[in-house]
Chain A
């Protein structure tokens, strides 16, 4: 169950959109922020708010890689695996971070802090290789830089 205030806020956002569907990503992100990930319950709630069927919300939720339909850690690390980053060592970066965290790609650390995911282009090709932690993008990440970034995030 989402708080009444959040519900009212989302209803306002939906009302301001030209079509309900347009607000779907906003609604899913807000519910994800509330629950930590987009739970089955959240999908049904989003459907109720948007006037769509749960399946129609699920179609959108599973299309976008930053909508999480499974539990994730407090911070999600997206490491770009598209062509520019791959050419600049993105693959090595991803496996390096995996080793630093002691998890496989797609897994969450035992302390629940990080989930490591590959992702497609983050639109930061000029500063490849690129990764994103939470909502923050980091470009030109070296292997040493990655270790520092993780430490910073741990100590936040």
Chain B
């Protein structure tokens, strides 16, 4: 490993590392615009100049373009390097508007930071600035080309990384323009990453424009609940409204990016129709009243219909904490059924696919990106788990061969269509990955795993915590609600964030629901208790590979201030929680119910083998639950 000295600090890094990365490794920041860890180097912006004092190359060099070599002595503080960077920034600022206070990027702008860091505080240029006409890029992304500093990150990401063909760079020299052929919505399902990757305000999130400044943001590390992949995110909130969602780096999972569906999916959290108040027989009540009524009705139902007439129902979107308390509640209420799935088919297919993944056979997104042979079998990643498709593209860019079994599949890369998995030369591959869906029932992967010991599986499950639900259903002998209801014994259902179809609720005299969404089940329930959405609580979910990941509370629950009737302000009631702020995480409501029934308080949802998840760090890569 080459050893070099940067600003008097000795650094030893792997072969192929750039001087810029080596400096970052010892916390020496070097300004950079065109260089990005996911995109590599371009050498376009010249902002990362350093001076090489000793070694194989000497003088001013671009640290992002220079691979480390033994004996290099690098100075980031040499007056010549400092002056170079200051001049480059001044030059980049020649055409950049001076109106940070009215720019949505202000406060979270790399250009702003590096301009200040470079000491370029006073503009000397007083001539005309180059201007552009912006394009309408659709409802999600705002275009402001005047702010562009030509770092080429956007086009490198959009075309090379994500495989989009409708956005690029036009013109030459001082006239380059980053945009589309004509106005229109960006076609790539990963276009939102332009917002994160642009070092200045050319692309901003249109859905949250001018709603808040960076220093006002409520933020926390979170995990996307949009599909089973569990991509890492940083949601942003203010005034009890989820404003936007940004990508958060997790090398093992999503890398640096997320899909547009995950990014632009905050409407459910802010939905004015969201049920936020406890209800007993349609009447608004306090949480205590609702809990008391619930305990009473459970007892009544048992008296009336006998032991085993209650079904406790969780779901594959329910966080692990609450899911872990369901068995305890089922035992206390002598429930006839503990259900983690509503549909028998979903239970069966999810459980059978879970069985394939024990023993380290599941492939992470990183393993997909590094695979040399990928088979997409009977599933549509772009539809059901978009980031998998982006991971497949990275493998393809690195030379992997991609095979697709099934018709009508679109991927952002070239692939070979084959009739069956048998036609794929899996035995010749070093790191093959098979991508399949738990919704597609086939026992085929099991046989393949036996045949090819090196084969890894990426299974697309139906929801964010399907893995956890199936794991618990297996451990606790959970049945599907469909089966339980069919037995005719069930007369009461306690639904915890479950989506139960109307026909299963039809003959049930007593229904209670805990949820944060307005579902058919909530409408049918006689007793309702509001729970928090994932951004309003600390929680855990297990993604499609069996990776437990912690998400942290971003915001307090409550009616968003935006949309409230101004006539009702200020509120005329004395209260300690904001309007609509009664929701609490489902597991805490369950804990209160359990305490009410048993007299024993529950303070910690993780016990037994799950105890190790108590201190799980949201900033970590997560924990594989098979290692617990």
**Which chain A residues have a beta carbon within 8 Å of chain B's beta carbons?**
43, 52-56, 58-59, 62-63, 65
Contact = CB atoms under 8 A, between A and B. Distances in A.
B305 interface: no
Nearest to A60: B170
Interface stretch (B39-47, B161-169, B267-275): B161-169
Contacts, number: 30
A63 B165 contact: no
A63 B180 CA distance: 15
A56 B170 contact: no
Contacts of A56: 165, 168
Contact of B181 (A55, A63, A65): A55
Residue among B166, B169, B171, B181 with max Cβ neighbours from chain A (10 Å): B181
A63 B171 contact: yes
A50 B132 CA distance: 29
Nearest to A53: B165
Contacts of A54: 181-182
B172 interface: yes
Given A53-B165, A55-B180, A63-B172, 4 more contacts: A54-B182, A55-B165, A55-B166, A63-B171
A52 B181 CA distance: 12
A62 to B, nearest CB: 4
Contacts of B180: 55
A62 B168 CA distance: 12
Interface in B171-190: 171-172, 177, 180-182
Nearest to B173: A120
A19 to B, nearest CB: 14
Contacts of B181: 43, 53-55, 58
Interface of B: 165-172, 177, 180-182
B171 A62 contact: yes
Contacts of A52: 165
Given A43-B181, A53-B181, A58 B165 contact: no
Nearest to A55: B181
Pairs A-B, 8 closest by C-beta atoms = A53-B165, A62-B170, A55-B181, A54-B181, A62-B171, A59-B168, A58-B181, A63-B172
A106 to B, nearest CB: 13
B114 to A, nearest CB: 28
B570 to A, nearest CB: 52
Nearest to A52: B165
22 contacts: A43-B181, A53-B166, A54-B181, A55-B165, A55-B166, A55-B167, A55-B168, A55-B170, A55-B181, A56-B165, A58-B168, A58-B170, A58-B181, A59-B168, A59-B170, A62-B170, A62-B171, A62-B172, A62-B177, A63-B170, A63-B171, A65-B172
A140 to B, nearest CB: 27
A153 B182 CA distance: 37
Nearest to B180: A55
Contacts of B170: 55, 58-59, 62-63
A47 to B, nearest CB: 9
Contacts of A43: 181
A59 B178 CA distance: 10
B179 to A, nearest CB: 8
Nearest to B159: A56
Contacts of B168: 55-56, 58-59
Contacts of A62: 170-172, 177
A102 to B, nearest CB: 26
Contacts of A59: 168-170
Nearest to B171: A62
A58 B165 CA distance: 11
Nearest to B179: A55
B56 to A, nearest CB: 33
B404 to A, nearest CB: 20
A52 to B, nearest CB: 7
A37 B423 CA distance: 50
Contacts of A65: 172
A109 B171 CA distance: 25
A144 B111 CA distance: 51
A23 B171 CA distance: 19
Contacts of B182: 54
Nearest to A44: B181
Nearest to B170: A62
Residue among A55, A59, A63 with max Cβ neighbours from chain B (10 Å): A55
B66 to A, nearest CB: 28
Nearest to A58: B181
B135 to A, nearest CB: 11
A65 B173 CA distance: 11
B164 to A, nearest CB: 9
A52 B594 CA distance: 62
A55 B165 CA distance: 7
B435 to A, nearest CB: 27
A52 B171 CA distance: 18
Contacts of B165: 52-53, 55-56
A6 B339 CA distance: 68
A117 to B, nearest CB: 14
B176 to A, nearest CB: 9
